[in-house]
């Protein structure tokens, strides 16, 4: 909300600026852009003429100092990394993997008719996921270990309204 109010305030302030001040600000920003766009070594180097022009412009129009802030590229990268550090710790790889599996194998295949139906589907899928579904990380076994059935006829038991099946020998 603060960012929107700040942007709105800056827009109104820009409307009240004189044309000569806006032209001077644009000239300063274009000059900074031309400095940044040069084929330069990894560390940006200002020429004497660049320093002279920037000094002259800020002396003639001191209000330009508030419009521009010169920072090192390392500073911008540090701010960027700090922002991502604050954003990513709430992510959880295991939970994201489970959510993807739920979507692909269950929720994308069924039309949900309400909260009660969703709870029933999720509880049925959780039982299937932990008791019958094979997992590669468990060498094609289920989290709830099951014994190997060597004899008998194979029957499929529908699970999650027939979306999945558990096959057993009887």
pLDDT tens column, 90-107: 667 788 888 888 888 888
The reply to whether the predicted model has a pTM over 0.85 is no
Question: H or E element: which one contains 154?
Answer: strand 154-159
User: Per-residue pLDDT averaged across 61-85, rounded?
Assistant: 72
Report the alpha-carbon distance of residue 76 to residue 41 in Å, rounded.
Answer: 18
56 confidence band (pLDDT: 50, 70, 90): confident
The pLDDT assigned to 70 comes to 64
Residue 132 to residue 100: CA distance in whole angstroms = 19
Say which DSSP state 135 is in: B
Check residue 87 and give its pLDDT: 67
Average pLDDT over residues 121-126: 91
Task: Indicate the Cα dihedral angle 88, 91, 93, 95, nearest 10°.
Answer: 180
Q: What is the mean pLDDT of the chain?
A: 80
Instruction: Judge contact between 135 and 143, C-beta under 8 A.
Output: yes
pLDDT, tens only, 10-53: 777 777 777 787 788 888 878 877 777 775 556 666 778 887 88
Domain ranges of the chain: 2-71, 93-169
Rounded mean pLDDT, 136-156? 84
Q: Phi, psi (5° rounding) for residue 93?
A: -60, -40
Q: 42 in helix, strand or coil?
A: coil
């Amino acid at each position: 909300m603060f960012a929107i109010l700040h942007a709105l305030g800056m827009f109104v302030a820009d409307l009240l600026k004189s044309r000569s001040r806006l032209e001077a600000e644009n000239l300063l920003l274009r000059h900074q852009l031309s400095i940044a766009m040069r084929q330069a070594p990894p560390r940006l180097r200002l020429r004497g003429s660049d320093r002279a022009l920037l000094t002259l412009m800020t002396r003639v129009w001191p209000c330009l100092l508030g419009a521009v802030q010169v920072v090192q590229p390392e500073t911008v990268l540090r701010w960027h990394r700090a922002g991502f550090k604050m954003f990513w710790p709430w992510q959880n790889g295991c939970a994201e993997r489970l959510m993807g599996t739920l979507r692909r194998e269950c929720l994308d295949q069924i039309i949900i008719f309400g909260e009660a139906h969703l709870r029933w589907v999720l509880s049925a899928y959780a039982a299937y996921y932990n008791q019958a579904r094979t997992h590669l990380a468990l060498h094609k076994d289920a989290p709830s270990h099951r014994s190997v059935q060597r004899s008998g006829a194979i029957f499929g038991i529908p699970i999650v309204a027939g979306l999945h099946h558990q096959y057993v020998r009887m």
